[in-house]
Structure 1
Amino acid sequence: MDKYKVILVDDEEEVIDVIERKIHWDMLGFDVVGSANNGVKALELVEKLQPDVVITDIKMPYMDGLELSRRLNNDYQNIHIIIFTGFDEFEYAKEAVHLEIEEYMLKPINALELSDCLKRVKNSLDKEREEKLNVEKLANYFNASLPVLQTNLFVSLIEGRVSESDYEKFLAAYQIDMKGPLYCCAVFHTSEHHVPDGMNPLLLSMSVEQQIKDRIADTWTCQVFTYLGNTVLIIEIASEDAMSELTDACDRFCRWAYRVMGAVVTAGIGRVCDSLLNINNSYEGAREAVSYRVLYGTQRAINIAEIAPKEQKAAVQYEDANMHELIKSIYLGKRDAIEGAVHDEIEKLHRSAQTMNRYKLTLMEMVGTFYRFCANNFIDFDNFSGGISNPYEKVPEMDEVTLTAWLIDTSMAISEELKNARNNTSRRMVTDAQNMIVGRYMEPDLSLDTVCSELGVSNSYFSSVFKKETGKSFISYLTDYRMDHAANLILETNEKSYKIAEQVGYQDANYFSYVFKKRFGMSPSKYRTEHTGNK
């Protein structure tokens, strides 16, 4: 079994060196994966390395151990924390019981005491892991599924099989109390191809569903059930503004599931609707979003309203069942998938068209499907029909080879147009964010949350798009912009460092100096001396 990951945090490097050397980490079941000399750097390492245990001193520059613990408890509640403290700080530290610190240890550190402490922490971690993956518990949960009638109703709703006349009657009969005013659907897909050794894929999926109930359904008012091997959530939404928050919550869960359980989970978020009677449209959007994992990656949440261009408010309707796979492959944009779907359509065409009239009628229906699909996505199909002036007339006259080539070329052209629309939307969003940095870098509270709130997107989606377009995370880009501007002010003015810090959005001059030195390898004062010669 993999060792538990540990990060050491102390502003004295010799303390970290002594701890690393004197503790038999491997024998205890731990691996020191990193160290930091202050709380700010520690948070960066936690985000990157996702440790199980953080061992930290209290007194440190920029951010002390208690503030670090507070941040960890807010954002990474599964991390176990051990605090080192001097005798004169001990009572002060013990007062912070609400931080749920695992252990307090007095300095100087005794190797035997720390080893005993780590054994206790490992027992706690082992119990947590065992509880999550306990086969007997999962089997019992599998047998204790949601009430059958409620599950059947939800399945009927997402399949669009509940009539308007029966809708209210069924909600009352099955005691479904969801008042909205808005609703959306989320689909969680757990991969069967990435399963921890010794774990049954079905039981792993059940474990993921249980954790979804504990971690998401406990925060959001929703109904959870299993359908077609996925976990489906029907969620009450107070307003469309809450969709970004929901997407980020699902995104955090997917990353947590992989790190803690070894489960590769992708969440798809559908569009908002104003009635459970129309939840099937949101469900289709959520399923479509999950299929985009081949483009955007797994272990994350994908919101269909964010990956489609902003102008595409009308969801694609799948009433054209015979071309469902071709339409899906057009969205994904993979040529081999489009070619395969086209060949399947040709095969079905020859298999089902008993007469020439039926053959021509079916091809006309396929042309009509293209027109509807393009109209739903604000595309003029005539621009992508290969120069054919009247497809309804010309396409039924094509031989099989010509028809196959036309279907492939037309599908690829439409797919490229959709891809360009998505890319243009992404670039516009990144440009807006960059302009926001240029105009507001001096504001101390300018942050990822601020920008995403004003752009109306989730943190997870914005972060992935911004890094893809710029090669940097938003925070790194903002920090570099501020530091470059600070460097110019240092060379062009005689302002003190603390004044320049304020002008580029830093209220703490010491932290500004720390970040500046990290970027340029020297303090602001030395930078001025090196580049201007002024003492």
Structure 2
Amino acid sequence: MELQVMILDDEYIILDGLCSFPWSDYGYQVAATAKNGLEGLEKLEHIKPDLILTDVRMPGMDGLDFAERAHEMYPDTVIVILTGYDSFAYAQKAITIGVKEYLLKPIDYEELKNMAARLAEEIHAKKDEQQEVRDLQKYFNQSVPELRSKFAGNLLYGRIQGKGVVQEQAKSLKLTIEKYIVCVGRKVVGEKQLHEGDKWIEEFACINIFEEIFNNYNIQVLSDYNTATAEYNFILLFAKEEENQKCMDLALQACGKIQEEVERYLKAYMNFGISDISEDEYQANAQYRKAQKACRQCIYLGANIILKYEDLQYEEQKDFVITPGERMHFMMTLFQESFEKAEDELRQLFAKAPEDGEAVKFAAMDLLFGCMKFPYTCAVDSEIHNKNWNFSVLQDGVKRISQCETTEEVLTCMFNLFGTLIKQNTEGSDERNQKRVQSILSYIEKNFATDISMDDLTEKFHVSRTYISRLLKKYAGKSFLEYLTDVRFKHVEKLIADDRYKQYEIAEMVGYKDFGYYIKVFKKRYGITPNEFRKHI
């Protein structure tokens, strides 16, 4: 599609000359002309130009006032001033009101040709980028229900580490979690059973029906289905000002309605466990475990039971759980940050633990086992071999933890064990780090043309962004971005010398989706534009 150009000048000869310029050769067409700013504003109401060329001194409204108004109406439109004033102060003022650049009168048509070609590339690149953003936004909007379900599962199972991360993800999904109840339901199969192949269809249909019922009670709901336990998990969201008793009543009524529908249409029964009411979204995993415990107690009470956790009649044992998200974050800190940071994080994890109790010992043993296993599972990238791994740390650790009597003793024991583990892991680390850096550099060289980022490297090599940056600086002498830029521009130089591609094509071929950013990096690196660079080859 041709780009739309608008030209303003009060001198007929200049206006006619600019209209006679071979715009079509550069992918443009002249969509409108005007002799002053007021006439230009009237025509802006009917067209949206991609490029505006305007004179400065015109009767009625001058070019700078027009440019300022045009930029307010269409911020993406490129504005070029035609002027006889070669003044820095003048140019500075023009830039502040949205003017991209200016051409000096009398106009040098070679300069106009170069400018038209360059701006066409930049405008098309920006349009492509904006279309990509729109496509991504459309895809994101279509994926929101699935993303919300995944978020609910991660929140309930404790996979998200840090309250700030929970709030950030909730905000991105346009969710406000002020007050909530976790509800776990399990279907007790009755007379009407579906074939195994139809089970997924039934579960999918059930989730949609259950969500609709909750919505009918003015409850916003996040849903997750756990295939391993065949349980339906729901986070029921309420406004902060809603009374707690009313929230619980609505949850009970909605669960009762679901039981009626399941019995009527599926000839089955539904048991529900209900958590306490909470306003702390980061405690969703603890509330989930309460609801799950209540749901699983229903089997001893009969069918179509709704049981609140607060109604469980037994002496509650002191519980202490380190969530999967907390465990993974600690392991990353232990092996890729400093031992001092890991010590602080371990103290924070155990700060919420009871002073004594078997649950603390089991949580400590589980964490030790996970940390022992973590480097071993990364053996492909870190080249930690079985023969170098001393499992006596695990054997001795379990024994020592089991002999502890208080949480503080467990914590002291863990510090000693993890110190030994770190010492064992760092033996021969220099050689391993050099090999890892070489693997990282090779990966960058193979994938430089993609939209590669530090996040890709952390996922590929199972290390943090900070650790990768430290390794690259130490062993390669460059940051990730510096090395990536070097690799890309080695290829840029070859492609320019080949003289077969336009600059925006070269930018895309080496991984730059933003053509304007590519030009900026090029100028900073070489001190000249790509077209000037081509002339010097």
TM range, normalised to the smaller chain? 0.3 to 0.5
Greater relative contact order (Cα < 8 A, sep 6+): 2
Q: TM-score, normalised by structure 1?
A: 0.32
Q: TM-score, normalised by structure 2?
A: 0.32
